[in-house]
Amino acid sequence: MEWSSTLSWLMSLLLLLICSGNSEEYAVRLSLVGFLQVLSGNDTGIIEKLGWSAATDPCTDGWNGVTCNNRTSSVYKIKLEELGLRGTIDAGRLCQAPSLAAVSLLHNAIRGEIPPEISDCGRLTHLYLGGNSLAGSLPPSLTLLGNLKVLDVSDNDFSGELPDLAKISGLVGFLAQNNRLHGTIPSFRFGNFDRRRFNVSNNLFAGPIPPGGDRLDQTSFIGNPGLCGKPLPVACPPSPSKEDHKSLKLSREKAIMFSGYIALGLVLFLFVTYKLIHRKKRTKHRKIADEKIASDGSSGKSSIPWSSTEASATATSSLIVLKRPGTMTDLKFDDLLKAPAESLGRGRNGSLYKVTMADGTSLAVKRIRDCGTSAAEFRRRMERMDMARHPNVLPAVAFHCSTQEKLVVYEYQRNGSLLSLLQGRQLDCVAFDWSYRLRVAAGVAEGLAAMHRELLADGIGHGNLKSSNILLTNVMDPCISEYGLVADSRSVEKAGGGSAVAAADVHAFGIILLELLTGKPVRNEPSELARWVNSVVREEWTVEVFDEALVSGGASEGGMVQLLQVALRCVHPSPAARPSMDHVAAMVNTVREEEDERSEVSEP
Ligand SMILES: *[C@@H]1O[C@H](CO)[C@@H](O)[C@H](O)[C@H]1NC(C)=O
Ligand SMILES: *[C@@H]1O[C@H](CO)[C@@H](O)[C@H](O)[C@H]1NC(C)=O
Ligand SMILES: *[C@@H]1O[C@H](CO)[C@@H](O)[C@H](O)[C@H]1NC(C)=O
């Protein structure tokens, strides 16, 4: 008895050693087999028939329904259609496969809901769940799948309202016909959709069809009794009369006024209390901070070097924490001030510090050199930006502003930046290959386009986009940081409001595309790289500009040339001739989609 258990333990150890070679990790295989177990309702017959077993390799041992990326030997696509599967979806296990891009479970009898953990499949581009018995509402976390292109939930038993899938800027297909979904239809960018890949017919949707819907066929919308507007033959009722508007506005004004009084009272009360309690503490802190700087000099770890006027002002002007579920809501300015800080660099518009808090979390703190923005204006911008979020844009955790000092606090991203990838400093955690570069390009384009849509009306662009500001999340997704921190509102107004900021950002994005294509990080002057590329292209030596690693890695020349053309339009010398970020994002997505299809993630 004991013998056999020791033996089996040794066997599994051996197996683990053998299997943890080049192929998909043992843990991933185990998860995938578990996923199929749950999906089939423990139907060992099906599992055997498909040949899935943790002891074999999905790529080389031919698991049925699995497609691998030959180069990286990782599972790319899972297609289990019409197999009579009658279990549930275990997204937690499914999403353990790190490169998974397409999942099709069409026409089975799968039950249960779509679990919220589906958002862990960050690389998913195609998700087909049509023709099953899935129910419940679509989880809001679906909107976190920033790379999603096609979502098919048709012919199920889904109910509830749709999450705001329009947030996924690359979405080109949404099929949800024949369910019991209700509520209104989000403002999809119908311009991107193929006519046959949008369908919400036979549900319980109501309200007006969003603008652009008239490009689609009316059969995409039929069978929803409450839906109105083009392309349906039912016109929408006129919007509420002016009278209604007025009274609504009045009562809202009153409400705002009263809440204003209450808030003012509260602030005064808190201020007085705070002063009384912290009078002693404050002087003590200032001393500590000053001593630290004095003893530690400029290098190594000390706390953030405050101007001395600031240190005394800090007690009254505190940190504004932007509330988000699950993050640092109890961050205190005092703690930030006391924590050890390490300088990460100094740029044109300020310095960056890594601050390690007492509980071990790391924060990145940007200290902005005075840029002529008033504290009130800065605060307004920060709060405005906090309302516009995108998975490819790093949100601020908190900020602090006073006349002398402006600070913005982010979560520290330990995987470095696109610049560090370009400089070849961390090649072991990701293949910096063509498909990854396209993923970075598309992610940044989508994030920037989304922020532009939300914020350009207020004249807020990025203002300082460069590869060192593109950070990499823990799943190596690109994430734009420092959005909107450079504000020179006066020059913006002179140069024609949002459009000038936008054109500058588009130019900066074009430079990033050139860096990705050439593999050459910009040194000093961004336009140098653009000039060089332009001169080579004029001489018709286009292929010469591409990164050798890409050419030898088997990237398609057609795709690279297409992306180069997008880049060259972005860096056009005349700002007015540059395309909008929305347009750029659509073009980059098209390139990426064609390349995806080329490398086998085709439609099931
Ligand atoms: C499948 O098997 C696992 C353990 O092997 C068990 O926990 C689970 O309840 C089973 N599920 C079904 C649907 O039978
Ligand atoms: C991947 O490898 C398999 C088997 O070796 C082959 O049939 C398939 O064509 C390859 N796919 C690509 C895209 O090279
Ligand atoms: C949408 O789905 C309905 C119901 O299945 C179908 O009749 C209609 O033709 C579809 N429309 C389009 C544009 O695919």
- Measured CA to CA, the distance from residue 385 to residue 457 in angstroms comes to 12
CATH of the domain at 323: 3.30.200.20
250 lies in some domain: no
CA–centroid distance, residue 425 to ligand 2 (Å): 31
Q: Is residue 243's pLDDT more than 60?
A: no
Ligand 2, atom nearest to 70 Cα = 1
The strand pairing partners of 366, in sequence order, are 352, 408
Last residue of a domain, one of 228, 255, 278: 228
- Measured CA to CA, the distance from residue 111 to residue 41 in angstroms comes to 10
The residue contributing the CA closest to ligand 1 atom 8 is 42
Given a contact cutoff of 8 angstroms between Cβ atoms, the answer to whether 73 and 24 are in contact is: yes
Kindly report which listed range (56-60, 83-87, 327-331) carries the lowest average pLDDT score: 327-331
3-state helix, strand, coil in the chain (%, to 5): 45, 15, 40
DSSP codes joined into one string, 513-576: HHHHHH-----S-HHHHHHHHHHHHHTT-GGGGS-HHHHHTT--HHHHHHHHHHHHHHT-SSGG
CA–centroid distance, residue 30 to ligand 2 (Å): 24
Q: Is residue 203's pLDDT more than 90?
A: yes
- Measured CA to CA, the distance from residue 174 to residue 200 in angstroms comes to 8
The verdict on 305 and 183 lying in the same domain is: no
Give the Å distances, CA to CA, from 522 to 431, 514, 598. Answer: 21, 9, 31
Kindly report which listed range (101-115, 258-272, 501-515, 529-543) carries the lowest average pLDDT score: 258-272
The strand pairing partners of 393, in sequence order, are 480
516 lies in some domain: yes
Closest by Cα among 329, 318, 310 to 275: 318
237 lies in some domain: no
6 lines ligand 1 (CB under 6 A): no
The verdict on 541 and 555 lying in the same domain is: yes
- Measured CA to CA, the distance from residue 596 to residue 598 in angstroms comes to 5
Which pLDDT does position 535 carry in this prediction?
A: 79
The residue contributing the CA closest to ligand 1 atom 10 is 42
Max CA pair span of the chain: 87
**pLDDT higher at 204 or 414:** 204
Q: Which amino acid belongs to residue 113?
A: E
The verdict on 349 and 426 lying in the same domain is: no
- Measured CA to CA, the distance from residue 591 to residue 350 in angstroms comes to 36
Which pLDDT does position 541 carry in this prediction?
A: 67
283 lies in some domain: no
The verdict on 218 and 306 lying in the same domain is: no
Q: Is residue 208's pLDDT more than 70?
A: yes
The verdict on 446 and 343 lying in the same domain is: no
The residue contributing the CA closest to ligand 1 atom 3 is 42
- Measured CA to CA, the distance from residue 135 to residue 157 in angstroms comes to 5
DSSP 368: E
Work out the average pLDDT over 122-145: 93
Is residue 49 marked as binding?
A: no
> Model-level pTM?
0.49
Work out the average pLDDT over 521-528: 78
Interior angle at CA 594, CA 588 and CA 596, nearest 5: 100
Residue 190 — pLDDT band, cuts 50, 70, 90? Answer: confident
The verdict on 390 and 470 lying in the same domain is: no
The verdict on 539 and 578 lying in the same domain is: yes
- Measured CA to CA, the distance from residue 331 to residue 604 in angstroms comes to 48
Q: Using most ligand atoms within 8 A of CB, pick from 36, 42, 47 the residue to mutate for ligand 1.
A: 42
34 lines ligand 1 (CB under 6 A): no
252 lies in some domain: no
Q: Is residue 18's pLDDT more than 50?
A: no
- Measured CA to CA, the distance from residue 556 to residue 539 in angstroms comes to 21
Kindly report which listed range (30-44, 149-163, 164-178, 539-553) carries the lowest average pLDDT score: 539-553
CA–centroid distance, residue 71 to ligand 2 (Å): 9
Question: Can you state the angle between helices 581-598 and 557-570, rounded to 10 degrees?
Answer: 180
CA–centroid distance, residue 70 to ligand 2 (Å): 6
The verdict on 313 and 210 lying in the same domain is: no
Given a contact cutoff of 8 angstroms between Cβ atoms, the answer to whether 185 and 176 are in contact is: no
Q: Is residue 247's pLDDT more than 50?
A: no
The strand pairing partners of 152, in sequence order, are 128, 175
The verdict on 422 and 408 lying in the same domain is: no
Which pLDDT does position 271 carry in this prediction?
A: 56
Q: Is residue 147's pLDDT more than 70?
A: yes
SS (H, E, C) 132-157: CCCEECCCHHHHHCCCCCEEECCCCE
CATH of the domain at 425: 1.10.510.10
256 lies in some domain: no
Last residue of a domain, one of 412, 429, 444: 412
Give the Å distances, CA to CA, from 541 to 366, 469, 534, 556. Answer: 42, 31, 10, 16
The residue contributing the CA closest to ligand 3 atom 14 is 196
Q: Which domain holds residue 16?
A: 2-228
Edge to edge, the sheet with strand 398-401 lists 301-302, 341-347, 350-356, 362-368, 406-411, 398-401, 320-321
Residue 114 — pLDDT band, cuts 50, 70, 90? Answer: very high
Residue 169 — pLDDT band, cuts 50, 70, 90? Answer: confident
Which pLDDT does position 599 carry in this prediction?
A: 64
Number of domains present in the structure of the chain:
3
pLDDT in tens, 257-308: 555 555 555 555 565 555 555 544 443 343 333 333 333 333 344 565 554 4
**pLDDT higher at 306 or 462:** 462
CA atoms within 13 A on the CB side of 39: 33
* Helix, strand, or coil (residue 93): helix
Which pLDDT does position 129 carry in this prediction?
A: 97
267 lies in some domain: no
CA–centroid distance, residue 353 to ligand 2 (Å): 47
- Measured CA to CA, the distance from residue 487 to residue 469 in angstroms comes to 16
Q: Is residue 530's pLDDT more than 50?
A: yes
Question: Which position has the token pair 């390799």?
Answer: 57
DSSP codes joined into one string, 390-415: -TTBPPPSEEEE-SS-EEEEEE--TT
- Measured CA to CA, the distance from residue 516 to residue 546 in angstroms comes to 9
149 lies in some domain: yes
The verdict on 325 and 349 lying in the same domain is: yes
Given a contact cutoff of 8 angstroms between Cβ atoms, the answer to whether 332 and 316 are in contact is: no
The verdict on 375 and 498 lying in the same domain is: no
The verdict on 178 and 315 lying in the same domain is: no
